A and B are shown apart, each in its own frame.
Chain A
Amino acid sequence: MTQKVAITAQNVVKAFGQGAAAVRALDNVSVEIAAGEFFTLLGPSGCGKTTLLRLIAGFEMPTAGTILIDGADVTEKPPNHRPVNTVFQSYALFPHLTVAENIGFGLKMQGRPKAEVAATTAEMLELVKLEQMADRKTSQLSGGQQQRVALARALAPRPKVLLLDEPLSALDLKLRKEMQVELKRLQTETGITFVFVTHDQEEALTMSDRIAVMSAGKIQQIGAPRDIYTRPVNRFVASFIGETNFLPVDPSPHGARLSTGDVIAADGDGTVLIVRPEQLRLGPAGVGAGLAAKVTGVVYFGTDIHVNLMLADGTALTARVPSPVDGGADFATGQDVAVTFQPGAARLIRE
C-alpha cells in the first residue's frame, strides 16, 4: 500500500498494575493504518483491542512505545489535542443536551463560529437522517437513533480518524445489519479513516478493508478479510475466524501425512492441517479416492447441514454440505462415507 499512513503504533506496551502483578494488556504491538482505510481490530474480550483504541484516542497512556497520528507523535498528548473522535460502546451521549447540541459539542469546544457549528450540525443531522430529531433530548431516542447521534457527534469535527468501540453490540440483529451498511456508507462518503473494534468476526469480514486479529495483547495477523479467512497464520486465527477442522499431520514430500497414513496435498508450512467445513465433499464409501470416515451426527442448519465425522484414527471432522431439500445427499448417523478435500482447500499452519 502506497497510501498515506493515518496511524502508526510502534512497539506499544500497556501494562496495568505494578511489578509482578502487572498485566500486559498490550504486548509490543506495532501496526500501520492507512488513510481512508476501514481497519478492524478483531479479537475476543480481553485481547487488548479496546486498550489499543483507547491509547490511540488518548484515554490511556502507553507504558512504552510511540503512537503517531497523521505523522505527528501524539504519545504524550491528552485526548482533546488529538485529531481523532470516538464512538463509544455506551454511546456516552450528553443527557442534558439536545441531539443538535450533542452533535455540535466538539465544534463548540474547538471555538468554531456559531454559524459554522449550526451549519455542520445540520449537515451531520442530514447525513445520519435525524433532521426531525434535532431538538429532542437524547433519552427520547431509540437505541438505533442514539447510535446515529453518537456517530454524527464524532464525525462533526471532521476527525482525521474515527475510532469505533464495539458500537453495534447494543443493537438487535436486524438493526445491526442495517448499521453495518450505514457505517460502510458513511466511511465511503466521508473518506475518513475508521478504526473499528469488534469481537464479531462476521462484522469484521463484511465491513473491513483490513483486519488485525488480536489475542493475548498481541496482533496475530493483519490482512484483508479474504486473506485472513483463507490463509490464517496460526491456530488462533483459524479458529477465531469461521469454523475450521484441525488435523495433526507429519510433513511429507507431497504434502502432509495424516496418522491414518493418507497423504494430502497442502500449501503452507507447519504441523497442523486446516480445512474449512464447507470445503469438504462427502461421497459414498469405497468408491474412488477419499478418507474413510463414519458419520457421528447430522445437524440441520436450514440452508445446509453440518455432518460430524470421525476418521479411522479417531480424529473428529465437520463437513458443511447442502441441505437435502436443496438437492444435496442425506446422511444418517453410523453411515460410512468417503471424505474428499476441494482442490487447494487444505493448508498447513503452525500451532
Chain B
Amino acid sequence: MAERSFEVSRLPGFATIAIAVFVLLYLPIATLVVFSFNSGPSIAVWQGWSLHWYSDAWNNEAVKGATFRSLIIATAASAIATTVATMAALGTTRRAAFGGQTFIYVVINQPLMVPEIVTAVALLILFGVIKQATGYQGLAYLIIAHAAFCTPFAYLPIRARLEGMDLSLETAASDLYANPWQTFRHVTLPLLAPGIAAGAMLAFVISLDDVVITEFVKSGGQDTLPTYMLGQMRRAITPEVNAISTALLGLTIVLLTLFFILTRKKN
C-alpha cells in the first residue's frame, strides 16, 4: 500500500479523543432520553421500558399549563423581537454610516453581554414598580422581558443576511420605477425572508429555554415549562422531567435544523 500524505485522522489517538469528546457531549443527553422511557420512578435505576412518563406529563394539568404558557410567551416574544430586530437591522445597514453606529450595535446586543442575573433583577424591580402602580399581573411582563433578551438573537442573522445582500439589487429596483416601499416589498423583504425566519426561530428557542429571567419576573401561577421543571427538582424528581426535557429537545432540534437550512449559504 502506498504511503499516504499527512492526514489528521491518522494521528495516534485521534479516534480515541474524538470518541471521548462525543461521549462527554452526548452521554448526559442520551441518559436523559433513555431514562425518560424508564418504567420505574427513578431517574437513576433502570426498571424497564415504558412510555407512561410521557402520558403522565401529557395528562398533568400543571405541565399542560406551563407548556401552553411557554408557547404563548415564546410566540409573542419572538414575534416582537423579530419585528424590532428587522427594523434595527434595516436601520443599521440601509443608510449611510453615522456617528455612534458602533454604540448602537452595542446597545442592541447588550442583552448578550450583560449577565442575565443582572437583567433579571433589574426587570424584577422595574416590573415591581409597574405592578404596584397598575395592578396588572398578566403575562405581558414575561413577554416584554423575553422580547428584550431575544432581540439580539433575532438581530444577528437578519443583519448578516442584509449585509450579504447585493445593494445593487435595490438600486436596480428603483431604476425600474419601484418607489422605496415597492423596493422593500418586492426586493428587500423577499430576499431577507430566510434571515427573518432564522432570527424568529432562534428567538423562539431562546425564549422557550429561559429560566433565570422568567424565574425572577413571573408572578404566582405563571410557570413556564423550564421554571416548572426547576420547581419539580426541588421536590421528588421523577422521569416525568426527563420526558418533558426530551420533548423540548425534539422541538429544539427541529427548529435549529430549520435555522441552519435557512442560513446555509447558497452554492
Chain A residues packing against B (C-beta within 8 Å): 57-59, 78-80, 84-86, 88, 90, 92, 94-96, 105-106, 109-110, 139, 153-154, 157
Indicate if the CB atoms of B177 and A110 lie closer than 8 Å: yes
Can you list 5 A-B pairs, Cβ within 8 angstroms, ordered by A? A80-B174, A80-B179, A86-B175, A95-B191, A109-B177
Given A106-B177, A157-B177, are A90 and B168 also a contact pair (CB < 8 Å)? yes
**Which of A86, A153, A154 has the most chain B CB atoms closer than 10 A to its own CB?**
A86
Main SS at interface, chain B: helix
Complex alpha-carbon distance, A269 and B173, angstroms = 49
Pick the contact of A92: B166, B177, B179, B191 (CB < 8 A).
B166
**Which of B169, B176, B186 has the most chain A CB atoms closer than 10 A to its own CB?**
B176
Indicate if the CB atoms of B182 and A92 lie closer than 8 Å: no
Chain A residue numbers with a CB within 8 Å of B175 are: 57-59, 79-80, 84-86, 154
Pick the contact of A86: B169, B172, B179 (CB < 8 A).
B172
Tell me, rounded to whole Å, the shortest Cβ–Cβ distance linking B248 to chain A: 34
B residues 168-195 near A (Cβ < 8 Å) are 168-169, 171-179, 182, 186-187, 190-191
Chain B residue nearest to A85 in the complex (CB): B175
Complex alpha-carbon distance, A84 and B191, angstroms = 25
Chain A residue numbers with a CB within 8 Å of B186 are: 105, 109
* Interface residues contributed by chain B, number (CB under 8 Å): 18
Indicate if the CB atoms of A79 and B191 lie closer than 8 Å: no
**Which of A85, A92, A95 has the most chain B CB atoms closer than 10 A to its own CB?**
A92
Chain A residue numbers with a CB within 8 Å of B191 are: 95-96
Pick the contact of B178: A58, A59, A84, A109 (CB < 8 A).
A109
Tell me, rounded to whole Å, the shortest Cβ–Cβ distance linking A130 to chain B: 18
Chain A residue numbers with a CB within 8 Å of B178 are: 80, 105, 109
Complex alpha-carbon distance, A95 and B171, angstroms = 14
Indicate if the CB atoms of B171 and A59 lie closer than 8 Å: yes
Chain B residue numbers with a CB within 8 Å of A88 are: 168, 171-172
Indicate if the CB atoms of B174 and A94 lie closer than 8 Å: no
Complex alpha-carbon distance, A335 and B169, angstroms = 60
Chain B residue numbers with a CB within 8 Å of A110 are: 177
Complex alpha-carbon distance, A315 and B179, angstroms = 60
Indicate if the CB atoms of A106 and B176 lie closer than 8 Å: yes
Tell me, rounded to whole Å, the shortest Cβ–Cβ distance linking A157 to chain B: 7
Indicate if the CB atoms of A78 and B174 lie closer than 8 Å: yes
Indicate if the CB atoms of B171 and A92 lie closer than 8 Å: yes
Indicate if the CB atoms of A79 and B171 lie closer than 8 Å: yes
Complex alpha-carbon distance, A105 and B187, angstroms = 10
Complex alpha-carbon distance, A96 and B169, angstroms = 11
Indicate if the CB atoms of B176 and A85 lie closer than 8 Å: yes
Complex alpha-carbon distance, A60 and B172, angstroms = 13
Chain A residue nearest to B171 in the complex (CB): A59
Complex alpha-carbon distance, A134 and B187, angstroms = 19
Chain A residue nearest to B174 in the complex (CB): A79
Given A88-B172, A109-B182, are A80 and B177 also a contact pair (CB < 8 Å)? yes
Complex alpha-carbon distance, A88 and B179, angstroms = 19
Indicate if the CB atoms of A92 and B168 lie closer than 8 Å: yes
Complex alpha-carbon distance, A31 and B171, angstroms = 25
Indicate if the CB atoms of B168 and A109 lie closer than 8 Å: no
Per-position contact with A for B244-257: 1 when CB-CB < 8 Å, else 0?
00000000000000
Chain A residue nearest to B187 in the complex (CB): A94
